[in-house]
Chain A
Amino acid sequence: QVTLKESGPVLVKPTQTLTLTCTVSGFSLSDTHMGVSWIRQPPGMALEWLAHIFSNDEKSYNASLKSRVTVSKDTSKSQVVLIMTNMDPVDTGTYYCARDIVVGPAIIPLDVWGKGTSVTVSS
């Protein structure tokens, strides 16, 4: 069974750095056709894709957040880490990680999601 689980602080202060961890099971981060994305959702608002890391360690970022976001992985720990700097109250929301699968020329995008972790940015 494939699962993803997000973890990290519930509350961060403005200007601080947020570090979130996504722990996966049921697949390996070294599987050649697997990747993991981070997505966030402010309260009552739409989803926003943040970043992606592929099995070959190739990384992609949302252009509007690229200067603040870093994604990395530790395959031995089955973990993907998202770091977001200079946090602001507008960054408050639920942060999700989800899996992508590449099957030949086809992509199965975000087929399995974690339950999400809630982050509040407040002093």
Chain B
Amino acid sequence: EIVMTQSPATLSVSPGERVTLSCRASQSVSSNLAWYQQKPGQAPRLLMYGASTRAVNIPARFSGSGSGTDFTLTINSLQSADIAVYYCRQYNDWPMSSFGQGTKLEIK
């Protein structure tokens, strides 16, 4: 089983900041990596797939990078609406997959 590790677990941020979230796989997943945003009480929403392709209607301030085992989600000019928990998910052996434990963004 591929284990996904996200860091940090919690991040305190201010509006307008640039935020970088990390995700590491226990073995290579090529570019088969997605990011999801989950706000309190809501279902997750797909942000990014293929490590760097934005999903439909996702603002350009979200960007993804990485391949193999190390991946990054960057949020430029953070907005208050971006406060959420962010999960990475590898799907290298799709449809089987595994999620990271999440990174929670909090307002500083």
How far apart sit A106 and B1, CA to CA, in the bound complex (Å)? 22
B55 & A60 in contact (Cβ 8 Å cutoff): no
B46 & A62 in contact (Cβ 8 Å cutoff): no
B95 & A35 in contact (Cβ 8 Å cutoff): yes
Question: Would you call B43 an interface residue if the criterion is a C-beta within 8 Å of the partner chain's C-beta atoms?
Answer: yes
Binds A, one of B61-69, B71-79, B97-105: B97-105
The size of the chain B interface, using a CB distance under 8 A, is: 26
Query: What 0/1 pattern do residues 85 to 123 of A give for CB contact below 8 A with B?
Result: 000000000001010100000111111111110000000
A108 & B49 in contact (Cβ 8 Å cutoff): yes
The size of the chain A interface, using a CB distance under 8 A, is: 26
A46 & B55 in contact (Cβ 8 Å cutoff): no
Query: What 0/1 pattern do residues 1 to 33 of B give for CB contact below 8 A with A?
Result: 100000000000000000000000000000010
User: Could you tell me which B residues sit within 8 Å of A by CB distance?
Assistant: 1, 32, 34, 36, 38, 42-46, 49-50, 55-56, 87, 89, 91, 94-102
The 10 closest A-B pairs by CB, nearest first: A52-B95, A113-B43, A47-B99, A46-B101, A60-B95, A49-B97, A109-B34, A109-B91, A111-B46, A46-B102
